[in-house]
């Protein structure tokens, strides 16, 4: 609980409300991005392992690719090309999400500075 002397008299203006709403939205988005990135990185790691194994495999025509519930037989080379293409697309997606995460964190930091300046202890913007 705040001590009486720590209370802030400042009224919340519409601009303040917009900043608070934006912070809240960005905060939610931040967690979503972190979770999505984790999923993508797991997928990337699986693709990496798959490609590695294929390179080590000796027999030609040895690859079976699981799509949904069916295993398609593929030439080793075709399989490697496909996995590498998938991985490239995935890594582009990861890069885009990481960029968005950076921007989100940076905007959140700016909003924090402004809001804490006005409301000091009357507002809590930290949950980690």
Partner 1 sequence: MAAALPSTNPRGIPATKFIESVADFLKDEESADAALKKMNEAYGTYKYLEEKLAAKKQSLKKKIPEMKKTREAVLHLLSQKAEGKEIQAQFELSDHVYTNATISGPENVCLWLGANVMVEYPIEDALAVLEGNLATAQEHLGQVTEDLQFLKAQITTVEVNIARVFNHDVKARRRAREAASE
CB of 126 to partner 1, least distance (A): 16
One residue of 3, 55, 67, 127 binding partner 1 per CB under 8 A: 67
Of 25, 34, 85, 95, the one binding partner 1 by CB under 8 A: 25
Query: First and final CA of the chain: distance in angstroms?
Result: 20
Segment (H or E) for 14:
helix 14-56
Is 12 a residue that touches partner 1 (CB under 8 A)? Answer: yes
Closest separation in Å from C-beta 11 to partner 1:
7
Long-range contacts formed by 8-16: CB under 8 A, 24+ apart: 8/118, 8/119, 8/120, 8/121, 8/122, 10/118, 10/119, 16/115, 16/118, 16/119
- Which of 3, 5, 56, 70: binder of partner 1 (CB under 8 A)? 70
Q: Which residues are bridge partners to 63 per DSSP?
A: 74
Regarding 57 and contact with partner 1 (CB under 8 A), the answer is no
- Residue of 58, 60, 69, 128 that binds partner 1 (CB under 8 A): 69
Contact between 110 and partner 1 per CB under 8 A: no
Give the number of other Cβ atoms within 10 Å of residue 83's Cβ.
22
C-beta of 11 vs 58, nearer to partner 1 = 11
In terms of Cα–Cα distance, which of 53, 58, 38, 48 is closest to 98?
A: 38
Query: Could you list the residues that contact partner 1 (CB under 8 A)?
Result: 11-14, 17, 20-21, 24-25, 28, 64, 67-73
């Amino acid at each position: 609980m705040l001590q009486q002397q720590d209370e802030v008299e400042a009224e919340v203006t519409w601009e303040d409300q917009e900043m608070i709403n934006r912070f809240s939205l960005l905060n939610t988005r931040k967690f979503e991005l972190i979770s999505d990135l984790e999923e993508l990185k797991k997928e990337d790691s699986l693709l990496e392992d798959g490609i590695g194994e294929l390179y080590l495999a000796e027999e030609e025509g040895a690859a079976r690719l699981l799509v949904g519930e069916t295993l398609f037989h593929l030439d080793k080379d075709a399989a490697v090309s496909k996995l590498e293409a998938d991985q490239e697309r995935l890594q582009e997606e990861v890069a885009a999400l990481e960029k968005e995460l950076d921007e989100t964190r940076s905007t959140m930091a700016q909003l924090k500075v402004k809001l804490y300046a006005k409301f000091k202890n009357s507002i809590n913007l930290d949950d980690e």
